[in-house]
Structure 1
Amino acid sequence: MPEYVETLQFDDMTVYKIVVMHTHNFIMTFFTQKGIHDEEIEQWLKHPLTANELIIKKLKEAFDQNGNILKEPNNTNVWLMSVAKFDSHKHTLLFQTTDDFTPTHYIRVILRTSDAS
Structure 2
Amino acid sequence: MIEPMADPKLSHQLDDKTDDIKKAADVVAAHLKKLEQTQKDAKDDIGSAQWRLKESQIYNITKHFRQIMNQYNEECVAHRDRCKKAIKREFEISGIRRTDDEIEDMIENGFPGTFSFS
TM (norm. structure 1) is 0.24
Please state which structure has a larger fraction of its residues in strand: 1
Which has the bigger relative contact order, CA under 8 A and spacing at least 6?
A: 2
